[in-house]
Structures are given as C-alpha cells and as structure tokens.
Amino acid sequence: MIPYPNIDPEIIRIGPLSIRWYGLMYLIGFLCSYLILKKEIKRRRLIVEKDFLENLYFYLILGLLVGARLGYVLFYNLSYYLANPLEIFAIWHGGMSFHGGLLGVILSAWLFTKAKKFDFYTLTDMLVLTAPIGLALGRIGNFINGELYGRISDVPWAMIFPDGGPLPRHPSQLYEAALEGFLLFVILWFLRDKISRSGIISSLFLILYGVFRFFVEFFREPDPQIGYILGFLTMGQVLCAVMIVGGFLLLTYRSKK
C-alpha cells in the first residue's frame, strides 16, 4: 500500500475566496488547448479572422460548463434535481459529467463553425488533439481532491482515500490520467499528419476515449446514487458504449466521403 499524499485542495484562500488545484487544472488545460490550436492553425496555413480563437474558446468554455452540469443532472442524479431544482445551479457543490461536457462542446463548435463558415470536422480534429491534456489534468485534480476514487483493492499501489473508508483502493484517477490523457494524446498526435481526411481523428478520439474509460471503470467505484446497471455496468460504461458506437458511425461516415 502507498500512503495517499493528502495535498491540500486549496492552493490559497483569501477570505471567502479560494484558488483550488482543480480549478487551476482547468485553466491550464484550456491554456494548453488554446496554444496548441493556435499553432495548428498556423502550421496548416488556415485563414481565420483576427479574434477567431478568443471567440471560439468563449463558446467552448460556456458549452463545456453548461453541458457538463446538465449531463450530470440528467445522467447521474435526475430524481434529486427534480426534487431540488435550484441545486442545478449550485455547481460549487460538485457534479460535472464528461459526456455532458463533450456534447456541450460539440454543439458549441458546430454552431460556431456554422456562423464563421469554417469546416466543422477540421476544427474538431484539431480540438481533440488538445483534449487529452485537459482530461489528464482534470483527473489529477480529482486525485488531489480525493474524489472519484477506485474500488477496494489489495494491489501494492492501493491507497486509503480520506473519504473512501478505512480500506485501500485503486487510485483510478491516475489510471484515467495515464490512459485518457497521456496515452490518448500520444496516439492522436502521432496520427495527426498520417490521416488527411477530416473527421477521422475526431472519430478515433471518441472510440479510444470510450474504450479507455470503459476499461478503467472496472477499477473505479460506481456512483453511490446509481450503483450498477444490469448488475455489472456503471453509468460511465453505458455512456462510453454509446460514445464508442457514435465514434464508429462517424468513422464510417467520414471514410465514405
């Protein structure tokens, strides 16, 4: 067993305001995404208007936050929020869904490219190159917060999380950071110039993220308010299965273009 590092989730507090590692991870993730996308646009010699990236990221961040919150409400705890509708807006109480955030980003990107007359799949292919960075940082933030921990285990690297009871558990947040973050980034970055047809990289992101997350969910503690679906699947695995199917449908559609 490895001792849990117990890093203070708050970096600094000034009165009622605080800067937390989790929020900082989000900011670093968006900054990295912005810089990489700016470099890719220049490298591909794409012509965009002056404030293209600034306007794009405004809508992407808005779509991510709204989608992630509504996704959590709909997918993970609908009955609670129907009984307590004002809690939907209390995002400081936690509760964000990756799959909901993904849908929000896709919708924002589609509306933005329609308005700017920019190819949607060209944009998403560049965006998914940057997404694993934010995913890895977000999972590290989850680890620092001691949340979304794994199932009880006796592996040598298991840890006792502050809110996870007295038994050691898988540090599943780090598994996700390694697979959905580092490994996914390396694969997509390696393929970015080897696939010329737009939309293919986007479909591979959907498939590979879905596969990696589906696998890690076997080591992650299910959401207590849901438990298992069909006796052995988590809600995350159900959503990832839909994501994988969607990725293959997109791959087939774009391959025929």
Using one digit for the tens of pLDDT, what is the confidence trace for 206-226?
A: 999 999 999 999 999 998 888
Mean pLDDT of 98-123: 96
Digit-coded pLDDT (tens) for 156-215: 999 999 999 999 999 999 999 999 999 999 999 999 999 989 999 999 999 999 999 999
State yes or no: pLDDT of 94 exceeds 80: no
- CA–CA distance, 183 with 186 (Å, rounded to integer): 5
What end-to-end distance do the CA atoms of the chain give, in Å?
Answer: 52
Give the pair of three-digit tokens for residue 164.
């996870």
Output DSSP code: residue 18.
Answer: E
β-partners of residue 18 are 13
With a CB cutoff of 8 Å and minimum separation 6, the contacts of 208 are 184, 187, 188
pTM across the whole model: 0.93
Mean pLDDT of 128-140: 96
Give the pair of three-digit tokens for residue 222.
């299910």
Mean pLDDT of 10-31: 89
What is the reported pLDDT for 64?
94
**pLDDT grade, residue 107 (50/70/90)?**
very high
State yes or no: pLDDT of 76 exceeds 80: yes
- How buried is residue 52: exposed, middle or buried, by Cβ count under 10 Å (0-12/13-18/19+)? middle
Mean pLDDT of 38-65: 94
**pLDDT grade, residue 19 (50/70/90)?**
confident
- CA–CA distance, 147 with 200 (Å, rounded to integer): 34
What is the reported pLDDT for 124?
97
Determine which of 11-15, 111-115, 124-128 has the lowest per-residue pLDDT on average: 11-15
Whole-number percent of the chain with pLDDT over 90? 80
| Domain coordinates in residue numbering, the chain | 119-255
Mean pLDDT of 87-99: 82
β-partners of residue 20 are 10
The number of angstroms, rounded, from the C-alpha of 161 to the middle of its chain's C-alpha atoms is 22
User: Buried b / exposed e across 143-160, counting CB within 10 Å, b at 16+?
Assistant: bbbbbbbbbebeeeebbe
